[in-house]
């Protein structure tokens, strides 16, 4: 793969098993549990739950991070958020920030009840959209002892305001009106519409940010289609549910996560950099913002020579002692 991309990386130092567990709404959440082969069976180990980018599945970026952290001695769990991948939830591709956050807490339930895991030493890592979901979860779940985000997207602000506040209030109201009218169509049996997500072909007018996502989601670099979904819909939320993000404010009260430590990692050239910088500014101590030179947003999904795995490992090792 170009530029050292290795989304589908596997390790002979780690065993992987599929797991399923219920969230508080009795929805089945699917995940992959990564266990270091040299795990000391006589001690309880630290663990980390890892969340995938918004609209993706655990096989896209989350498994890579979970594998790398397992190589560093952690038991790790990558999960499919509800409505996506192999997890339950209808309609498919629905947006529900509250249930997404609940899935992280359900992962804590699962990990904290494993006999080989120390429930007082569990951290959480969110990539892209999951960065905002894990913050939302951590505000009300003190069992998450250390929180890290990579290429974080505040899915609320991104939908309300656009990147760099490029969307007007009038444009926001147009989106909300369209979704509200579409509810009538779907309520009376009409076709489900989907929104945003990654384009399926490029032309001379394709925006550079869309090209960046296309290179991951629509090429062998990162393309993955779970059995429960259609390739044509990968990354595309339902139009009528996507406006739930308008009511999502993950950074409100972020300072109350303190004194649990927070680490924000973002590429210097990432179009999403504003979100990590805003979260860092608002968070309480201890906190750290790490900016990776020469890295864009999607680069930190899978470009293993750019991703600071050593920094993530030392952060969790220091804070999950």
Name the strand (E) or helix (H) holding 233: none
Beta-carbon contacts of 64 under 8 Å, excluding residues fewer than 6 positions away, are: 6, 7, 8, 9, 301, 302, 304
Q: How far apart are CA 68 and CA 248, in angstroms?
A: 31
Q: How far apart are CA 303 and CA 318, in angstroms?
A: 25
Residue 37 CB neighbours (<10 A): 11
pLDDT in tens, 219-251: 999 999 887 666 667 899 999 999 999 999 999
Residue that has been written with the tokens 């989601």 in this structure: 217
pLDDT in tens, 267-276: 999 999 999 9
Residue 259 exposed, middle or buried by CB count within 10 Å (0-12, 13-18, 19+): exposed
Q: Comparing C-alpha atoms, which of 73, 213, 192 is closest to residue 129?
A: 213
Q: Comparing C-alpha atoms, which of 29, 26, 78 is closest to residue 52?
A: 78
pLDDT in tens, 81-131: 999 999 999 999 999 999 999 999 999 999 999 999 999 999 999 999 999
pLDDT at 196 over 90: no
Give the torsion sign (CA, 263, 265, 268, 270): negative
Write down the pTM of the prediction: 0.97
Name the strand (E) or helix (H) holding 163: none
- How much is the pLDDT for 229? 66
- How much is the pLDDT for 183? 98
- How much is the pLDDT for 227? 75
């Amino acid at each position: 793969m170009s530029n050292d991309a290795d989304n589908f990386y596997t390790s002979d130092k780690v065993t992987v098993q599929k797991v399923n567990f219920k969230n508080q709404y009795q929805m089945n959440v699917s995940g992959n549990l990564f266990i270091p082969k040299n795990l000391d069976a006589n001690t309880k180990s630290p663990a980390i739950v890892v969340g995938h980018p918004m609209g993706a599945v655990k096989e896209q970026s989350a498994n890579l991070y979970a594998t790398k952290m397992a190589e560093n001695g952690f038991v790790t769990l990558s999960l499919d958020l509800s409505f996506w991948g192999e997890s339950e939830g209808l309609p498919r591709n629905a947006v529900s920030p509250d249930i997404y956050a609940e899935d992280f807490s359900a992962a804590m339930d699962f990990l904290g009840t494993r006999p080989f895991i120390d429930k007082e030493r569990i951290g959480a890592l969110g990539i892209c959209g999951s960065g905002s979901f894990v913050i939302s979860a951590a505000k009300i779940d003190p069992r998450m002892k250390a929180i890290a985000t990579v290429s974080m997207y505040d899915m609320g602000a991104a939908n309300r305001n656009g990147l760099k506040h490029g969307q007007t209030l009038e444009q926001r109201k147009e989106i909300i009106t369209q979704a509200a009218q579409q509810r009538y169509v779907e309520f009376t049996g009409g076709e489900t519409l989907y929104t945003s997500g990654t384009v399926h072909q490029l032309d001379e007018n394709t925006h550079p940010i869309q090209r960046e996502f296309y290179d991951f989601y629509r090429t062998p670099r990162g393309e993955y289609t779970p059995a429960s979904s259609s390739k044509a819909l990968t990354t595309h939320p339902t139009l009528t549910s996507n406006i739930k993000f308008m009511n999502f404010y993950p950074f409100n009260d972020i300072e109350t996560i303190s004194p649990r430590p927070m680490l924000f990692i973002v590429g210097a050239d990432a179009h999403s950099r504003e979100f990590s910088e805003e979260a860092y500014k608002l968070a309480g101590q201890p906190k750290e913002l790490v900016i990776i030179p020469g890295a864009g947003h999607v680069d930190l999904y899978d470009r293993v020579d750019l991703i600071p795995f050593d920094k993530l490992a030392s952060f969790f090792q220091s804070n999950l002692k």
